[in-house]
Chains A and B, each alone.
Chain A
Amino acid sequence: MFRFQSLDEDCTLEEEEEGLIEEEDDIDQFNEDTFGAGAVDDDWQEEHARLAQLDERVRDGLAGGDASSAPLPPPPGSVPLPSSLPRPPTSTLPPPGLEERGGGDLALSLTRLLLGSDPAIAGVGAAEPDRSCFPPMPQAPPSGLSGPSSSLLSYQQHQHILHRGGVPLPQVNSHSIWENNMGFGPVSVSPGLVTHMEDSPLMSIMKEVGLPKRPLPIRGEDGLDLSERVPPPRSSSPVIGSPPVRAVPIGTPPKQPLSHALNQQIHCPTAVHVRAPVQHRYPPPFPERLSPNTLLNIANAPLCRPPFPPGVGPVLSQIQRAQLLNSQVGPFPCGGPAPPMLPGGGGGFRPFFSQPPPRVGPHAAPPNHNPIRHNTTHLHPQHRRMLTQRMQSRGDRGGRGGDRRSRDPYSNLMTQKEKEWVARIQMMQLQSTDPYLDDYYYQNYYEKMEKRLERDKDSSRKEPTTKLITPQVAKLEQTYRPVQFAGSLGKLTVSSVNNPRKMIDAVVTTRTDDEEKREKQVWNKRRQILYIVEKMYSLLLEVQDFEKKFLQTPEEQREALLEQHKTHTLQLYNSLKEKEWDDRVSDEQCLMIMSVRKGKRLISRLLPFLPPPQAAAVIMGIARNLPALAKKDKQDQVLCWLVEPVAVVIQAMSSSALTDLLQELQGSEGQLPRVLQNKFGVTLLYLILSEGERMQSSDPNCQLMDDNRWTELVFSVTRELLKVPSSSLSPPLFTPPNLLSLFSRYVDRQRLELLQEKLQITALSR
C-alpha cells in the first residue's frame, strides 16, 4: 500500500538490507488517502475536537498560503525526502526540504502548529507534512498525529530499546503483519534504518493519516487497553465518514492477560499454556511477530511444529503435547503411559480436548433431567491400535524427515489460547447426548471389526475386548429460544455458530396424484415395494438395537422396553404374513418383498430375530415360491445371502417342520428341477437333507421316520437328482458332508455311485 521504496525495503523482510534506495515511486496521493496507514482507533470525537480547533488556526495561517499546494504534492517533492532523512531524532522541524516544495508555507505552518502543540511529536522530527495535502477538509491527518503520536514516539523509543536489546518487549502481538507492511516493525533493525525510520516519509504519512494505536504495555498508563489479539487494523480510510475502529470485533478470542506475555515461561500460570520455551519463541528483545525469514535467522530454537507431524520432538512433554492445537480428530497416539485425563497418551494430535470437565469414565446411565454429553471425538481403541501399528511401520520405513518440518516459521500466528478457543468451539458442536445414535456408523464399524478379529484370531492373543468409551461432558445449556421482539413479524436474521437458526419453515405436504400411466404403474409398484421395505427396515433396526438399549435403560423401564420390542417384532412378521392365517406367510407379499434386492437383504437380517415358528413359516414361504424367486433373482443373484440365516433356522426346526419344508420345496410338479437349477435351491435342499440326516443319525428315535413322508420325499429327490442332466444342476454353495450317508440309506450301491459322481460328493468315513 505504501509506495515508498524505503518502505518496500522494510517489507521485503530481509534484514540484511541496510541502505535505502533513494528514488521512490510516485506517491499516489489518492491511494494514500484511500488506503491509508490503517485505522485510527482512538476517540474520534476527541480528535475531531482537537482538529476543529486546529483547523481554525490553520485557516488563519493559510490566509496567505499557497493554495495550490494543497491538492497534490509534486512528485519530485517526494524524492528529496529520503535525502533529508538522516537526521538526529531530536532535530528541529521542519526539514529543510520542505521549503523546496510548493505549498511549503502551508506545510510549514501546519507542522509547526501541530508538532509544536504536541510535545510528544516534537522530538520526532521530520514531520513531513507535504502530504500536506491537507485537503481543507478537517481530516484526521492532524488528528491522527496527535493521537497516535505518542505511540509513534514510543515506537521510536522502541527502536532504540530494541536496538539496545535491553528491555524485554512484551509482545505486541496483533500488529505483526501490519507493522511489517508499514515498515514499522522491527524487521530490519539496523542502526541506519532506525534513524531512517524516524525520518522516513513514512512517518509523515503516519502522522497525517493516522496510526493504529498501539497499546504498548511499557506505557502503563495507557488507558485504552485493547486486546492485543485484535485482528490487524483494517486498512480502510480512517477518516471519511466512519469512525475509526476501536471496539474489539465480534468473535475476538478472549484477551489474554498481559502478564502471560511478560512472564518467563517457567512461571506460566496455567498448565494449558505451558509449552516449554517454545511458546515464547523469540528472544525477548524482539516482539513476537517477526517475519519468517527473520525468525529463521534469529530463533534457533525449534519452533512450533506444523500441525501434524507423525511424531513430536522431545521438547514438549506429554501434557503439553496433549494441549496442543488439535482441531481435528487426531489419530496420533504415542506409546507411553497416558495421563489419566488424556487417554491414549501424548502425541502430536490429540483426539481429546481440553474441555472443561471432561470425565473419562464408564458410561453411566444419565439421569433424565441432566443429560450428559459425550465427546465423540475419541477413537475406538481398536482404531487407535491400528493406527499405531501403521504409524510404526511407516516410521521405520520412512525414516524421519522431521527435521525438515521441525521449523515452521508460520506456526506462531496464533497463540495457544486462541487455538484452543477455536478448537473448543468446534468441539462443542461435536458433543452429543446419544453417541450411539449420532455416531452410529463409526461405533458399529469398529465393534464389528473387533468381533471379526476375535473370530479370526485364536485366543492366544489375550487382549480384552476393547470397548469404545465416550467420555462425557456435562450438558450446559438448555433450550434456546430465538430472540424475538414483541409485536414484530418474523424472526431475527441473526444466526451464528452457536445458535443456528432454521432459515426456512418448510412444511411437507403429500400430494395425491391420480393419474397413472402404464410405466408409472410399474414404477409405482416398485416404489411401493421399496417403501414397504424401508419401513420394515426401520422396524428391524429398532429391533436390532434393542439389546443395547435394554442394557442402558434403568430397571423400571425395562418392562416397557421389552414390550415394545415384542411389538416391533410382531409387526415385522405381520407385514409378511397372510391376513388371516398366523402360520403362513403371504405369498404375494413375500414375493413382492423378495423381488427387490433390498428386500432379500431385509429378510436375511430379519430371520434371526423372529421366533422359531414364525421363522419357519417364512422359510416355508420361500421354499414354496422358490422358482419364482429364482427367476426374479437372475439379475441380482443375491439369494445366497439367505443361506446363512436359513441354515440356522433349519437346524432349529423340528422333524415334522423339516419334512414339511422338504415337501414345500418339491411342491408341484416340475418344481424340483427348477429348484435344482438354482444355486440357492440346491443349497437349500442340501441343507434340509443334511439336517434330516443329522437328526436320524444322532437320535434313532426321531420322528422323522414315523410316517413315510420323509422317506418318500427323499426318494423322489434322489430320483430327480439322477434324472436331471448334469448341466442343469447348479453347484451348491457348499456340500454338507453327511449327504453321502443319507443317500446310502435310501439308494442301492449303483445309484449311490452315480449320485456320488454327479454331485461330486466325496466319500467320507462315517
Chain B
Amino acid sequence: MYTGAKQSYQFYHPLQLFYSFFKSLVGKDVVVELKNDLSICGTLHSVDQYLNIKLTDISVTDPEKYPHMLSVKNCFIRGSVVRYVQLPADEVDTQLLQDAARKEAMQQKQ
C-alpha cells in the first residue's frame, strides 16, 4: 500500500456525475471524436474519473484516412483529448441525468 498519501480527497473530482454517467454506458457502442478530428467508433470498455476512455473493437468511422489505425483493435484515449462522445440515445435517461446534475449542483454549493 502506498503510504505516501497524506490526504486523499475522496471523489475529489468535481464532475463525478460524468464518471457515473459513463459507467452506465460501459459495454455500449459509442463514437468518440477527438480534438484532432479523429473519430473512433467502438465499445466502451471502461472509464475512470478523469474520463479517460478505453474502447474495444474500434474502427475509424470516417473514411479511413487514418490508415495507421487499421490494425488497432483496442485503444486508450486520454480524457483531455476528447471533443465529443456520441451516445446511443436510448441508453440515456435524461430525466435521471437532470436529477443527477441538480444533486451535483446542490452538493457543490455546500
- Give the complex CA separation of A394 and B56 in angstroms: 12
Q: Out of A394, A438, A500, name the residue touching B16 (CB < 8 Å).
A: A438
- Give the complex CA separation of A442 and B22 in angstroms: 8
Given contacts A437-B107, A480-B7, contact A500 B12 (CB under 8 A): yes
Q: Out of B9, B47, B52, B54, name the residue touching A498 (CB < 8 Å).
A: B9
From A290-298, A327-335, A554-562, give the one contacting chain B. A327-335
Task: Give B58-106 interface residues, CB cut-off 8 Å to A.
Answer: 73-74, 76, 93, 95-97, 99-100, 102-104, 106
Contact B27 A386 (CB under 8 A): yes
Contact B8 A537 (CB under 8 A): no
Task: Give A316-342 interface residues, CB cut-off 8 Å to B.
Answer: 327-331
Chain B positions within 8 Å of A424 at CB level: 1-2
Chain B positions within 8 Å of A437 at CB level: 103, 107
| Nearest CB of A to B103, in Å | 5
Task: Give A226-264 interface residues, CB cut-off 8 Å to B.
Answer: 254
In the complex formed, the residue of B with least CB distance to A331 is: B26
Asked if A282 CB lies within 8 Å of chain B CBs, one says: no
In the complex formed, the residue of A with least CB distance to B71 is: A404
| Nearest CB of A to B84, in Å | 19
Given contacts A383-B24, A386-B27, A442-B24, contact A541 B46 (CB under 8 A): no
Contact A476 B8 (CB under 8 A): yes
Contact A541 B99 (CB under 8 A): yes
| Nearest CB of A to B5, in Å | 5
Asked if A733 CB lies within 8 Å of chain B CBs, one says: no
In the complex formed, the residue of B with least CB distance to A478 is: B7
> How many interface contacts (CB-CB < 8 Å) are there between A and B?
144
Task: Give B17-50 interface residues, CB cut-off 8 Å to A.
Answer: 17, 19-21, 23-24, 26-27, 45-49
Asked if A17 CB lies within 8 Å of chain B CBs, one says: no
Asked if A499 CB lies within 8 Å of chain B CBs, one says: yes
- Give the complex CA separation of A429 and B5 in angstroms: 11
Chain A positions within 8 Å of B23 at CB level: 329, 379, 439, 442
Chain A positions within 8 Å of B106 at CB level: 538, 541
| Nearest CB of A to B35, in Å | 21
Asked if A218 CB lies within 8 Å of chain B CBs, one says: no
Asked if A425 CB lies within 8 Å of chain B CBs, one says: yes
In the complex formed, the residue of A with least CB distance to B76 is: A307
Chain A positions within 8 Å of B56 at CB level: 308, 310
Asked if A64 CB lies within 8 Å of chain B CBs, one says: no
Contact B96 A426 (CB under 8 A): no
Q: Out of B12, B21, B103, B107, name the residue touching A442 (CB < 8 Å).
A: B21
Contact B48 A499 (CB under 8 A): no
Asked if A89 CB lies within 8 Å of chain B CBs, one says: no
| Nearest CB of B to A537, in Å | 6
Asked if A352 CB lies within 8 Å of chain B CBs, one says: no
Asked if A441 CB lies within 8 Å of chain B CBs, one says: yes
Q: Out of A307, A331, A441, A538, name the residue touching B97 (CB < 8 Å).
A: A441
- Give the complex CA separation of A327 and B46 in angstroms: 9
| Nearest CB of A to B20, in Å | 4
- Give the complex CA separation of A310 and B42 in angstroms: 14
Given contacts A476-B8, A601-B95, contact A426 B26 (CB under 8 A): no
Asked if A163 CB lies within 8 Å of chain B CBs, one says: no
| Nearest CB of B to A504, in Å | 14
Chain B positions within 8 Å of A534 at CB level: 102
Contact A448 B96 (CB under 8 A): yes
Contact B52 A328 (CB under 8 A): yes
Contact A438 B11 (CB under 8 A): yes
| Nearest CB of B to A596, in Å | 13
| Nearest CB of A to B72, in Å | 11
Given contacts A421-B2, A541-B99, contact A308 B8 (CB under 8 A): no
Chain A positions within 8 Å of B102 at CB level: 534, 537-538, 541
Given contacts A429-B10, A432-B10, contact A401 B73 (CB under 8 A): yes
Contact A499 B49 (CB under 8 A): no
Chain A positions within 8 Å of B48 at CB level: 327-329, 426, 430
Contact B47 A441 (CB under 8 A): no
Chain A positions within 8 Å of B96 at CB level: 441, 444-445, 448
Task: Give A335-360 interface residues, CB cut-off 8 Å to B.
Answer: 349, 356
Of the listed residues B46, B74, B107, the one surrounded by the most CB atoms of chain A closer than 10 A to its CB is B46
Q: Out of A383, A429, A446, name the residue touching B13 (CB < 8 Å).
A: A429
Asked if A428 CB lies within 8 Å of chain B CBs, one says: yes
Contact B8 A477 (CB under 8 A): yes
- Give the complex CA separation of A541 and B19 in angstroms: 21
| Nearest CB of B to A190, in Å | 32
Listed A/B pairs (7) with beta-carbon separation below 8 Å = A308-B74, A328-B52, A438-B20, A439-B16, A476-B5, A480-B9, A534-B102
Listed from nearest, the 6 A-B pairs whose CB atoms lie closest are A328-B46, A480-B7, A441-B100, A432-B11, A442-B20, A441-B20
Q: Which residues of A contact B (CB under 8 A)?
A: 254, 306-310, 327-331, 349, 356, 373, 376, 379, 383, 386-387, 390, 394, 401, 405, 421, 424-426, 428-433, 437-446, 448, 475-477, 479-480, 498-500, 534, 537-538, 541, 601
Add 12 more A-B contacts to A329-B47, A439-B23, A440-B103 (CB < 8 A).
A308-B45, A329-B23, A329-B26, A349-B45, A379-B23, A383-B27, A429-B13, A430-B11, A430-B19, A476-B5, A477-B7, A601-B95
